[in-house]
Structure 1
């Protein structure tokens, strides 16, 4: 996921506006839910995965990735080592991934000998992989920063016998079984679909909306966009997408603030805006507040702290589709063990999206992060 935080003046303003308490928003400003078709669609999606793998593979469910007691004993007897090469480590999503990976590796008796942060730079990740390989790990779990630029480094690791497990995407020309064990991903298309149904539910199936998307060739965000826009167009004829604006970063929140401000100014009757993930959506929330639009419905993907606070305070965000990064980490570590003992693995494993509203926010946080929601969230849920 493209999730790096940049502390620009605009981004800091976004976070401050979301957290600020001295605002004229009241409970009566919050959009009222009311679309039976949307509610029924959300219920029917529970536990379902809609995404396909990088080569069009049907998804296996994470719940099916298990080891027998005998297989666990076999893994533990290997006294194996693992390394983790991340694109970035400074956010809640990555922290949850790493926590799940570490816990499962510990349970399997696999020592984690390196965790690296590429700072979203492909050349840094290539260097990280070279450093990791000098330690001769048995398993390497990674999310490629760039599928083309890092491909040779990952292929070299595979050629040297390392068991590779990928998050979300795979390097160019690498194939499951030969080059890597498996790829584990959130259902990004499904998360886009969830956020579309949540938008329709909050709007009562009617209204004009805008879309703020990531203007880059990145599979995860493209699938979210496809899931959202196709669902709105196919299922909700009463909802019109009247404006789309892209951003390229690195100031995701600041650029999205500008995009959303322009939409609201151009379309005074705009009823909602969709954001492609939580950090850009912080900018959209700030635009709604600065434009004095407490009625503007906002949906997104990813359960980040700031959007959770906004949701708890009934500040525009009415729903989002969440990933399950902790469970994803556990699954990735287990698949690494599959590689160690030669157990056949499905080429693509996905985790079902989690629809989050204020009503289930505390429970969803525990499910996503395996911890209680932050105090800043909890204090507003009890008001």
Structure 2
């Protein structure tokens, strides 16, 4: 994905934050008390229910299971180890928070970060990134594959060189946990889909037509989000998914805007659109504004700046299923560092999903990014 926000989206953020324009709320739909109770109960149960298993059927371990004692930290510092971070794409809020968490924990452990790369969702670029990174002789590589098959040889080469590999969210094909790589550290992506579907159902009163915009390539974590959402929508029989459309990028916001515009034109009574993550949701919001559909309900995964702004102003965005990427980065660093000193770490660590609405968006921002909400978000918040 390109790093740069599209101009339309940038203008939208500036205008909303600076001018305080008051669009009608997307939550003006008459809510159904029974549906609201059903959704609230489901969301409450998801907070404490066991996590979903890993890709090889692994029992998910919580982040709290990955601990380093003071003695462990001293051993790790003595190694003067080096680490590389190979992202599938960079520059967005999720990647920035992951990198910040990794760098923070690696610094605490005395591990030097020798490279942070952005593949722009290109498997060829990521393969080249990893091969170039190996020339710097890292002891650790933390990465999320752009394509689990095409990039597998590069990861296998790193493993053969003795590099401790920790994957974000998903592993390369053919690699064996505990042997070729240390662990996968992931959000519970199926649960993210469940969260956003319940939030959508509550917002539209449990009935009406909706569309879904998903990732149009075989990307396992996004497949899980979609599967979790679709399964959950079946719990609300009066919700009809009238159209599903995949987008492949690299301009995910622009592609989603085109798809959403077509859906809104085709279905004048469309009540909501579910988006696979926050950047496509930006395009959905742009389409809704351009067509005057300011009553549309939008849900998405990942708490980026623009969707957070929509939640703060109670405009279009009605809910987000948020990962905790900073915590995920910290956990990835700990897992990798522990492996350097021979600690037996869980091979699959799951960090759950956070339901974010207008009511808790400011608190959620702090939980997700380990930083206070930015001024533009606090100033935009409408009680």
State the TM-score, normalizing by the size of structure 1: 0.93
Distance 1:231 1:103 in 2: 36
In the other structure, the counterpart of 2:297 is 297
- CA RMSD of superposed structures (Å): 1.9
Work out which of the residue numbers 7, 10, 14 in structure 2 matches 1:12.
7
Q: Which moved more, 1:372-381 or 1:361-370?
A: 372-381
- Superposed displacement of residue 374, structure 1: 2.1
Q: Which runs of 5+ in 1 are unaligned?
A: none
1:149 aligns with 2:144: no
- Superposed displacement of residue 252, structure 1: 1.1
Q: What does 1:170-185 correspond to in 2, within 5 Å?
A: 170-185=171-186
Number of corresponding residues:
377
SS of 1:46's equivalent in the other structure is helix
State the TM-score, normalizing by the size of structure 2: 0.93
SS of 2:186's equivalent in the other structure is strand
| Contact 1:301 1:322 survives alignment (8 Å) | yes
SS of 2:23's equivalent in the other structure is coil
Distance 1:238 1:19 in 2: 38
Indicate how the Cα distance of structure 1 residues 274 and 19 shifts in structure 2: closer, same or farther if over 3 A, else same.
Answer: farther
- Superposed displacement of residue 16, structure 1: 2.7
SS of 1:90's equivalent in the other structure is coil
Distance 1:323 1:116 in 2: 21
1:253 aligns with 2:253: yes
SS of 2:211's equivalent in the other structure is strand
Indicate how the Cα distance of structure 1 residues 32 and 100 shifts in structure 2: closer, same or farther if over 3 A, else same.
Answer: farther
In the other structure, the counterpart of 1:25 is 23
Indicate how the Cα distance of structure 1 residues 306 and 28 shifts in structure 2: closer, same or farther if over 3 A, else same.
Answer: closer
| Contact 1:211 1:244 survives alignment (8 Å) | yes
In the other structure, the counterpart of 2:341 is 341
In the other structure, the counterpart of 1:313 is 313
Distance 1:160 1:42 in 2: 44
Q: Which moved more, 1:23-32 or 1:221-230?
A: 23-32
In the other structure, the counterpart of 2:141 is 140
Distance 2:77 2:260 in 1: 52
Q: Which moved more, 1:32-41 or 1:318-327?
A: 32-41
In the other structure, the counterpart of 2:219 is 218
- Superposed displacement of residue 48, structure 1: 4.2
In the other structure, the counterpart of 2:93 is 92
Q: Which runs of 5+ in 2 are unaligned?
A: none
In the other structure, the counterpart of 1:204 is 205
Deviation digits for residues 122-175 of structure 1, max 9, x if unmatched? Answer: 222222222222222211111112222221111111111111111111111001
- Superposed displacement of residue 27, structure 1: 5.0
Q: What does 1:44-123 correspond to in 2, within 5 Å?
A: 44-48=45-49, 50-123=51-124
Distance 2:210 2:159 in 1: 46
1:162 aligns with 2:163: yes
Distance 1:120 1:209 in 2: 29
In the other structure, the counterpart of 1:272 is 272
